[in-house]
Amino acid sequence: MTAHASTPAEPARPRLRVLAAMSGGVDSAVAAARAVEAGHDVTGVHLALSENPKSFRTGARGCCTIEDSRDARRAADVIGIPFYVWDLAERFREDVVEDFVAEYEAGRTPNPCLRCNEKIKFAALLDRALALGFDAVCTGHYATVVTGDGGERELHRAGDAAKDQSYVLGVLDERQLAHAMFPLGDTGATKAEIRAEAERRGLAVASKPDSHDICFIADGDTQGFLARRLGTAEGAIVDESGERVGSHEGAYGFTVGQRKGLRLGHPAPDGKPRYVLDISPVDNTVTVGPASSLDVTALTALRPRWCGAPPTGPGRYTAQLRAHGGECEVTAELRDGELLVAFEEPVRGVAPGQAVVLYDGTRVVGSATIARTTRAAPTAS
């Protein structure tokens, strides 16, 4: 008899108990279906985050409506998994909505999606999931978790750069990454392909529009939302020399780099557009100026969170400054608990309150909240 060499079988993947966060959209539905297909024991859960959910959302605006909850339940039924609704509205209000309002009141521009991922989906939800015996929380985010040779977890960009959401996940630490599952992240599938997959699976959400706005401001009117929370307070809009060029009803309604909606009564001498340069909540003043005055050469960021071990000493990275922004070359250093970032080339429109996320190639190093910026020296005219 002739002996034949056999090919070693791949080790079986462990069957995990997975809690799939299902928003009612197509991404989270397909993610849950893929987790089931991978052999995991999956339970779906919809997070009720609104204290007064509306029956229907308007197009792609908002989420967390009764309609979204029903869509999530129908998707779970098609996939064939148990489904529950968990009420986290009070926690969401305290950790995300009130934080959002307080940041704007202080003259900063927050990113509520980062705060929700940090405080709700991978803190409140994950803690409850682990307490109930689940091994992981699955979401429809486009990002990838990679396990290193020593078992450490790393967060990387998604295969499809156009849909990458690693920026809003940069607040996750290694413990949270160890229990995070992103089935859509490492396949490189485009959104069109995900929708086609949802249709093949019989999921009615295949053609449902994405939500592109702040979920708790369904009408998209952030300034109106803040005005209802903070009231109106007339103040001055001034140019860089201090001359009054307009007025406003609340400094909280502006963000650094904003151009539209300024309603200035005095045009610039050169006729060029003016942008918001600074917001001072103390004296309720907004300062505007030319685009060149937005150039920033460095920033200081607070409350750093690391996706693994924190860096030691200064290092060269790329940085992303907004959810849909590009990368820029930087040198960064952690000093006395603050992250100091210097840009290779000046960048514009850096708003305190937003996050700076550092990358080493595709790997997310960590995230911190921008506190102060250093402006470029004005060029001679």
**Catalytic center residues:** 116, 215
Query: Residue 358's closest CA among 320, 314, 307, 309?
Result: 320
For β-strands 41-48 and 315-320, DSSP reports them as unpaired
3-state secondary structure of 294: helix
d(CA 238, CA 244): 4
CA distances to 66, 92, 198, 307 from 138, in Å: 22, 19, 17, 18
Identity of the amino acid at 93: R
Burial class (CB in 10 A: 0-12, 13-18, 19+), 103: buried
d(CA 236, CA 249): 9
CA distances to 107, 248, 299, 318, 368 from 372, in Å: 12, 24, 6, 19, 12
